[in-house]
């Protein structure tokens, strides 16, 4: 059983690895070998990765793929995707190709407002704190000018600050609810710095405000932090065409397909158990692009799923309709993304991804990411309502199974051919590979 270790962060990387390997692994040398095999040979690049986070001992690689043929607002894109799940990139590519000849994807940014809050406790008269806020509001702006100057030059900054009374939910609880425009930056550090200054101004100004009693002047700031729920940082993506134009190799009866597709979406709109899986598929596409471009996919996930629950029940993010013979499929989601700052400027592959996307602005990246999610959802629903999802997914998963079973390249080729006409499962692949090896041995 391992014991606590003191001063771990002060150890060198090699010392950290030695301790981990000897403490937790039966074969310490093998553990060391695996960890070191994922180091980058370029020492400068490895040091860059080491300094992204704390206590770094190795790199954890994800496949980096591309999905071509995305027509977005008349402009052709090849979209980078970092993800480990089989079939996601293939599905996105298939959707892109399908809609390429049917008008492409349309996307628009509806709004880009981001939110931050100072949460504080005021044990006093609500009218007094409201009067204090109104008389002090200009100072919140004035005392953050040094922080906002550069952002304002780029067209961003603090949009507004409001006092929100939440005392009905929690005794004495108020908020300074601030809205921001951060242009091409995600803006987390900018927003949090402004909020902390707001908190300082709030407490300082309260001490000198004659309209508050001595006890009321003692405002307790609990925390100052941005919100990853950004319902006013919205982007819409959609596809549409005449129902008859939906016909292709998998869609023999376009009217039947369209009607079944719309029903599948409506089920996800009213059934949370289905909606969670439905939206997870959307996030397969969104997260893969967010990660590839050096953005925070966890923040995006949290905000998107909160938005899916905005009406009180968790529901589908996408919607579909058939009107006057036209099929339409669309999605409106919150996405707070950046194309400057953070990993977007540091991680070599993130920079490469943004260059691959023709150096988009934050608004353009919002559109691209939303389209990737819509494309992924279309591909999933198309499979579910026609051939079933497992046929395509298991074909992609076949290679993972073969790699688990240490198949050679020759064995892989033969297994791929074999399973063109046989049902794929882990057990079936295992048996077929064993039979192949027995036949060769004999």
Helix ranges, 244-296 (H): 254-270, 272-292
Distance between CA 43 and CA 49 in Å, rounded? 10
Q: Coil, strand or helix: which one is 331?
A: strand
The half-sphere exposure of 61 on its side-chain side, counting CA atoms within 13 A, is: 11
Decide if 374 contacts 107 (C-beta within 8 A): no
393 tagged catalytic: yes
Nearest 10 degrees: CA dihedral of 213, 216, 219, 220? Answer: 140
Beta-carbon count within 10 A of 337 CB: 29
* Helix (H) / strand (E) containing 157: strand 157-165
Specify the residue for token string 């996919």: 297
85 tagged catalytic: yes
Specify the residue for token string 């049902």: 423
347 tagged catalytic: no
Decide if 338 contacts 265 (C-beta within 8 A): no
Catalytic residue among 18, 50, 85, 232: 85
Catalytic residue among 32, 296, 364, 397: 296
3 tagged catalytic: no
Decide if 316 contacts 269 (C-beta within 8 A): yes
Catalytic residue among 97, 177, 280, 412: 280
Helix ranges, 38-125 (H): 43-50, 88-100
Residues annotated as part of the active site: 85, 280, 296, 393
């Amino acid at each position: 059983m391992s014991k606590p270790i003191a001063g771990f962060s002060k150890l060198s990387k090699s010392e950290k690895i030695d301790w981990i390997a000897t403490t937790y692994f039966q074969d310490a040398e093998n553990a060391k070998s695996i960890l070191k095999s994922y180091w980058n040979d370029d020492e400068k690049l490895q040091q860059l990765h080491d300094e992204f986070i704390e206590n770094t001992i190795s790199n954890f690689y994800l496949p980096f793929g591309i999905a071509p043929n995305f027509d977005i607002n008349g402009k052709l894109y090849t979209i980078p995707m970092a993800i480990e799940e089989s079939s996601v990139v293939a599905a996105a590519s298939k959707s892109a190709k399908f809609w390429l000849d049917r008008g492409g994807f349309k996307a628009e940014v509806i709004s880009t407002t981001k939110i931050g809050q100072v949460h504080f406790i005021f044990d006093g008269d609500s009218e007094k704190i409201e009067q204090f806020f109104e008389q002090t509001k200009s100072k919140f702006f004035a005392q953050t000018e040094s922080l906002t100057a550069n952002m304002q030059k780029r067209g961003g900054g603090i949009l507004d600050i409001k006092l929100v009374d939440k005392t009905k939910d929690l005794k004495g609880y108020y908020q300074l609810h601030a809205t921001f425009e951060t242009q091409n930056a995600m803006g987390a550090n900018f927003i949090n710095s402004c909020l902390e200054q707001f908190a300082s101004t709030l407490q300082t100004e309260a001490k000198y405000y004659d309209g508050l009693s001595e006890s009321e002047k003692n405002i307790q700031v609990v925390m100052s932090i941005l919100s990853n729920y950004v319902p006013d940082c919205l982007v819409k993506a959609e596809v549409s065409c005449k129902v008859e134009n939906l016909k292709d190799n998998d869609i023999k009866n376009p009217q039947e397909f369209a009607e079944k597709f719309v029903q599948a979406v409506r089920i996800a709109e009213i059934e949370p158990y289905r909606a969670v899986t439905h939206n997870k598929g959307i996030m397969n596409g969104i997260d893969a692009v967010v990660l590839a471009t050096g953005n925070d996919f966890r923040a995006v996930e949290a905000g998107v799923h909160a938005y899916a629950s905005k009406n009180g029940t968790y529901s589908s993010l996408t919607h579909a309709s058939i009107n006057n013979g036209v099929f339409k499929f669309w999605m409106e989601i919150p996405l707070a993304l950046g194309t400057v700052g953070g990993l977007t400027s540091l991680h070599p592959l993130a920079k490469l991804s943004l260059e691959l996307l023709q150096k988009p602005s934050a608004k353009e990246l919002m559109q691209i990411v939303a389209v990737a999610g819509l494309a992924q959802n279309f591909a999933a629903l198309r499979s579910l309502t026609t051939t079933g999802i497992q046929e395509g997914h298991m074909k992609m998963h076949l290679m993972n199974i073969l790699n688990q079973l240490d198949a050679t390249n020759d064995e892989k080729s033969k297994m791929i051919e074999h399973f063109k006409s046989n049902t794929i499962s882990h057990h079936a692949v295992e048996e077929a590979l064993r039979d192949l090896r027995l036949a060769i041995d004999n």
